[in-house]
Structure 1
């Protein structure tokens, strides 16, 4: 039986599409193979609209739109979420919001109720929010830790997308890892040509929320130590991506956001690369997905 939370997500999505507050997903895609790994390269029209709106950069108060131009760069959509996109609370510290510029149906932002910097390290409360959704629905949780990692908002948040053959996941990468790998152990994937850390986690659909959150927090902390990710006044350096799903967590440091004009975020490392323009698909095909990913990592 579908959870009450997911029923609310579906109802809010349907209503927001009907009202025009959320645009239907329009996408074209190709599937590329690289070293035996499948990569979906998908053009999503909503991402071009996101660029046109402008990227918010800092904490702000009220929603404002500049006359004849893009949104105020100080606008923070997570402090006062659009009621048409608001799903509801997730625990005591987060709220679920439909992503204004979704890459798939039911794409959620799990945002802190109070402002914190996106580039600061993930904490127990962030994994508690992710565990609440993952334990009920499965799917993929992810984090873009800073602008170089693909984050477009300074307000602290993680994100979630449902499980689907068409959505990013860790299934393909996980298939190349030992199936009996113990929870808490760290490993590298034999094919990924970039600095990264895989950690086996006890997290996913049906797992106790508290146990799941604790397992993810421990895994993230271990990965940060292994990758020499350090927190200072500027946040976690270097910026990083985190993906969690299908019993695995992947953490990797980032050197830059773009490959030949294509913004790459955590989902790119989950096998789905989103482009703003169909012509950008050719750039990914020419270089190869793994080389594109390596160019923005270390």
Structure 2
């Protein structure tokens, strides 16, 4: 039975207990990776690839990448991976094949398209996780933005390696105001969040207001059934929206985590290619001109 998350519950403990049980049952199958750092413009990007000592994990990567329109793993989600109810319309579900530890999916109970605009309810569900735990929330809006499933799901991870390196380049705008990240030469919108953004009662409305603001500045309508592809990242302090033009640069897939300084490649030899051109070339290539 899914635990109903209460405002005063120990969410970290709840997720840890679910993770332990899912590992024991085999429902949770982490993808073991090796990691290196690639630096550009003073920013150190974390680059992961499947460990050469874990060949079976390549099959897991293939399972994540395969897009079968007839298969929906969220209707219903695996009980062993379902950690908590996040209100009436959302569930917290462990990522079955995580590359980053403690990777959580925030899914709608009923089917909604991944290309549909995010609602105040979606943001309220995210806030029930990210409000107490911090970390990074993100969203891959459509296939071209790196989404591997068509069912609407936000995602949350503890802050990935590399994110702090962007701090000196963030605009010093006031809460509620927008700006641009100085080293990003592709289209994007940065919004500084108000201090009250993650307060439980108003989090959904406040965060959606900032999201709609960013969408409007990027020419994306949040009043349509399907939004053009984009990535969204949120910390406690800011929101970042990046319109997308393609899922891949050559054969390197990019999702929202790429814009937080965390990239994933399938083969070790792709790292040499990434070093040769620089991560910014990859991110620029799947975005839109600034």
Shorter-chain TM-score bucket reads 0.7 to 0.9
Q: Find the aligned partners of 2:177 and 2:253 in 1 and give their Cα distance.
A: 31
| CA-CA distance at 1:44 after TM superposition | 4.0
User: What does residue 190 of structure 2 align with?
Assistant: 198
User: What does residue 205 of structure 2 align with?
Assistant: 214
Instruction: Indicate if the aligned counterparts of 1:203 and 1:215 stay in contact, CA closer than 8 A.
Output: no
- Per-residue Cα deviation, 1:43-92 (whole angstroms, up to 9, x for no partner): 1465751324663443xxxxxxxxxxxxxxx1211121111111121122
- Per-residue Cα deviation, 1:10-32 (whole angstroms, up to 9, x for no partner): 11112212222222441111111
User: What does residue 61 of structure 1 align with?
Assistant: none
Query: For the structure 1 residues 219 and 170, does the alpha-carbon distance in structure 2 shift closer, same or farther, using more than 3 Å as the test?
Result: farther
Q: Give the TM-score normalised by the residue count of structure 1.
A: 0.86
Matched residue SS, 2:246: coil
For residues 1-298 of structure 1, the aligned pairs below 5 Å read: 4-44=10-50, 46=57, 49-52=60-63, 55-58=66-69, 74-163=70-159, 167=160, 170-179=163-172, 181-202=173-194, 207-230=198-221, 235-237=226-228, 239-298=229-288
The number of aligned residues is: 276
| CA-CA distance at 1:151 after TM superposition | 0.2
- Per-residue Cα deviation, 1:169-214 (whole angstroms, up to 9, x for no partner): 74332332245x311101011101110000001369x941233333
Query: For the structure 1 residues 57 and 223, does the alpha-carbon distance in structure 2 shift closer, same or farther, using more than 3 Å as the test?
Result: farther
Q: Give the TM-score normalised by the residue count of structure 2.
A: 0.88
Q: Find the aligned partners of 1:111 and 1:175 in 2 and give their Cα distance.
A: 33
Instruction: Indicate if the aligned counterparts of 1:203 and 1:245 stay in contact, CA closer than 8 A.
Output: no
Matched residue SS, 2:79: coil
Unaligned segments of structure 2, at least 5 residues: 1-7, 52-56
